[in-house]
Structure 1
Amino acid sequence: MKHTHLTLEFPNGKTFNCQSKIYNSNFYGKIVFTTANIGYTESISDPSYSNQILVFSNPNIGSYGFNKQQLESTRIWPAGIILNSLTNNFSNHKAQSSLTTILKKYKVITMLSNEIREIIQEIHNTTSNVKIYCNKNITLPKVKHLASLYTATTHRCVYLKTLKPHTLIKIMIIDFGNKKSTITHLIKRKTIFITIVKAHQIYKEIKKIKPNGILISSGPGNARKLIKKIKEIKKIISKIPILGICLGHQLIAKCMGLYVFKMIKGHHGINHPIKFINCKKLFITTQNHNYCIQHTPQKNFFYSMFDYSNQGFIFKKKLIISLQGHPEATPGTNDIAYIFDKYISMIKKCQKIY
């Protein structure tokens, strides 16, 4: 297949020439990167990457093909991916197709570049959007017209319907872009009735379901703009055990009056070390966020070993456990998966279920 030349342009005017032989289009929007050397299927099916350009630092992608059982949601989310090498010659007895086939199906802009390191360094220096085009004479307003702008609203979708194992505990997941592995970790803890609801039905569904605990999921976007959701979540703070992950963590922080700010670089990858302030143990976590919250005045919080940014907190009196990273971690380690156990324990103590 003939290669198409595409140009990636940063706000400062710096450009990178790339090639595409799968799908190409003009685009204007956010660009992020991941340092994960495994789990590309899980990464591209993470709703948090909705309508973004995802750059893989790993030099080779596609070597073990594609298996839909590894999907974290019902579809592929990035608008495009940039990588050094994409192989069709996969080796995996569980693979159902090549990664190339899936990228074509979902019309994901796929760009090959031998300057991945330089592109990632440039991402470190910018917080603005980039543009991708195949016509050098195209102007930014035209690109905006042609492109899919970053207006993802995954909270209007339900990715997985209600799961009903025999249980004593009801957990309601408020879906802002929930991942399958979150549900998997809850099911592993047994005796859990899990209901997933759309994020625009929060208080109505709480009254209807009467859950023992609430999990506010991860997802794309800026928590500061979800004003109506923050008002609804405020109503349940201190009344029911809540677990917040990533975007959910930021929404809880906003409910508690903490400031959410945009980071210069963001955290994206599976090797981010964090530490609990009252514990000597170090945890390696999976991170995928461009926003962060200020430090809390309380002592029970997690912080990043890279930049000391707030990575979560535990407020037992307010019945809150909240994490910026991903305890479900696919791809990544399960160092902080024990948070699910702490959450279930909090629910049991609150409901006196033993």
Structure 2
Amino acid sequence: MKYMSKRYLVLEDGSLFEGTAFGASCDEQFGEVVFNTGMTGYQETLSDPSYCDQLVVMTYPLIGNYGINRDDFETIQPAISGLIVKECAEFPSNFRNEWSLDEYFKQKNIPGLSNIDTRRLVKKIRQNGTMKGVMVDNIEDLDACRKQVNEFNYKRDQVRRVSTVKPYVVPGNGERIVLVDFGMKHGILREFTERHCHVTVVPYNTTADEVLQLKPDGVMLSNGPGDPKDVQDGIMLVKDLMGKVPIFGICLGHQLIALACGADTHKMKFGHRGANHPVKDLRTGDVWMTSQNHGYAVTEESLSQTSLKVNQLALNDNTVEGLEHETFDIFSVQYHPESSPGPQDSNALFDKFLNKIKGGIIHA
């Protein structure tokens, strides 16, 4: 077996998991321990900026079996803190394979942990909620390590760290879209370019005046990591743009729209992370399977005093999955219609957004 060195995971409740190291060496790697239920799509998961500062546990037992290819990345530089799996495939097999998971993680300086009881770990998270954890190669004093984990405080600037620093343009002949990058997956950009849109990607702290100077036909608010209440620039941007241009929000963008309209958000017990989450459209009765990755949700009770109406709910726990503004051309979803990975049931939402733009209905 190629990966022989030991590696440990210590949780804030004192639990210790001993396994095998792969990827980069690891003196100390702190993060929020979360789990993803996808059977495939680990490459898109590890390169999704929304996993910034998180140690991600894959519930499917065999990860890395089709390797890493050059096409399926959702960002150039992954922001994930570490990956935890039952078994890391040593010899991947796929015609697109370029690197093994171990080789890629070494390139990107990301540690991985394998050969632990991921079922036990995930059950613990489901029972107790997401927890702080640390991944280490050596433990000299377990009690001191446990104390460090409990004293560790999450950073609050994830969006700043994963957003683009400067605006850039992806030219097209269609509608002019400003895509605000809060931790954007490349899949979102791909959906617009496939529809021939002219897309300008801007940083998270771009002001409404700067956006409107670009003369957009519509504004897209991307996904992103962390607590939406920490992204005050995004909340203010939405407030200042409402009624001036059509807006579509995904994931974090969905939460920022809710906060800008006076609603509230809350941290979920263990969140939604996977590619098999059923969502019901309350208007049509249709049920879509969706790809999701979020640890916060819009508090439904807080919407009563706003102009936002719930139009979609998660069937597993009845959390808010879709919102639409009663007056302005604004709508949002908590899941990922661009998939990557996951089912493409809701991909037509990008067409819905472009149809709103083409309709020219902009409320002053």
Normalised TM-score (structure 1): 0.92
Q: CA deviation at 1:147?
A: 10
Q: CA deviation at 1:143?
A: 6.1
Of 179, 200, 212, the match for 2:205: 200
Residue 272 of structure 1 aligns to a residue whose secondary structure is strand
Contact 1:65 1:95 in 2 (8 A): yes
Amino acid at match of 2:110: V
Amino acid at match of 1:162: V
Residue 322 of structure 1 aligns to a residue whose secondary structure is strand
**CA deviations over 1:157-200 (Å, ceiling 9, x no partner):** 25994111223x1100000011111111112323x111101111
Q: CA deviation at 1:140?
A: 4.9
Once residues 31 and 213 of structure 1 are traced to their aligned partners in structure 2, the CA distance between those partners, rounded to angstroms, is 36
Residue 249 of structure 1 aligns to a residue whose secondary structure is helix
1:250 maps to: 255
> Where do 1:186-197 residues align within 5 Å?
186-190=192-196, 192-197=197-202
1:347 maps to: 357
Amino acid at match of 1:130: G
Contact 1:28 1:147 in 2 (8 A): no
Normalised TM-score (structure 2): 0.89
Residue 303 of structure 1 aligns to a residue whose secondary structure is strand
* Bigger Cα displacement from structure 2, 12-21 vs 139-148: 139-148
Q: CA deviation at 1:4?
A: 2.8
Residue 139 of structure 1 aligns to a residue whose secondary structure is helix
Q: CA deviation at 1:316?
A: 5.6
Once residues 264 and 146 of structure 1 are traced to their aligned partners in structure 2, the CA distance between those partners, rounded to angstroms, is 19
> Where do 1:101-250 residues align within 5 Å?
101-124=103-126, 125-133=128-136, 134-137=138-141, 138-140=144-146, 151-152=157-158, 153-154=160-161, 156-157=163-164, 161-167=168-174, 169-190=175-196, 192-250=197-255
Once residues 143 and 122 of structure 1 are traced to their aligned partners in structure 2, the CA distance between those partners, rounded to angstroms, is 17
Once residues 260 and 148 of structure 1 are traced to their aligned partners in structure 2, the CA distance between those partners, rounded to angstroms, is 18
Once residues 120 and 300 of structure 1 are traced to their aligned partners in structure 2, the CA distance between those partners, rounded to angstroms, is 31
The yes-or-no answer on 1:51 pairing with 2:56 is: no
Contact 2:47 2:76 in 1 (8 A): yes
1:94 maps to: 96
Amino acid at match of 1:328: E
Q: CA deviation at 1:41?
A: 1.1
Q: CA deviation at 1:235?
A: 0.7
Contact 2:180 2:204 in 1 (8 A): yes
Once residues 155 and 236 of structure 2 are traced to their aligned partners in structure 1, the CA distance between those partners, rounded to angstroms, is 27
Once residues 246 and 262 of structure 2 are traced to their aligned partners in structure 1, the CA distance between those partners, rounded to angstroms, is 19
Once residues 232 and 275 of structure 1 are traced to their aligned partners in structure 2, the CA distance between those partners, rounded to angstroms, is 29
Once residues 191 and 76 of structure 2 are traced to their aligned partners in structure 1, the CA distance between those partners, rounded to angstroms, is 18
Once residues 340 and 359 of structure 2 are traced to their aligned partners in structure 1, the CA distance between those partners, rounded to angstroms, is 29
Contact 2:79 2:162 in 1 (8 A): no
Once residues 22 and 231 of structure 2 are traced to their aligned partners in structure 1, the CA distance between those partners, rounded to angstroms, is 38
> Where do 1:75-86 residues align within 5 Å?
75-86=77-88
Unaligned runs of 5+ in 1: none
Contact 1:273 1:285 in 2 (8 A): yes
- Structure 1 residues 266, 141: CA separation in 2 closer, same or farther (over 3 Å shift)? same
Q: CA deviation at 1:204?
A: 4.0
Of 332, 335, 346, the match for 1:325: 335
1:41 maps to: 43
Once residues 125 and 30 of structure 2 are traced to their aligned partners in structure 1, the CA distance between those partners, rounded to angstroms, is 15
Once residues 87 and 163 of structure 2 are traced to their aligned partners in structure 1, the CA distance between those partners, rounded to angstroms, is 35
- Structure 1 residues 55, 310: CA separation in 2 closer, same or farther (over 3 Å shift)? same
2:281 maps to: 276
Amino acid at match of 2:169: T
Unaligned runs of 5+ in 2: none
Aligned-pair Cα RMSD in Å = 2.3
Contact 2:338 2:344 in 1 (8 A): yes
Amino acid at match of 2:9: L
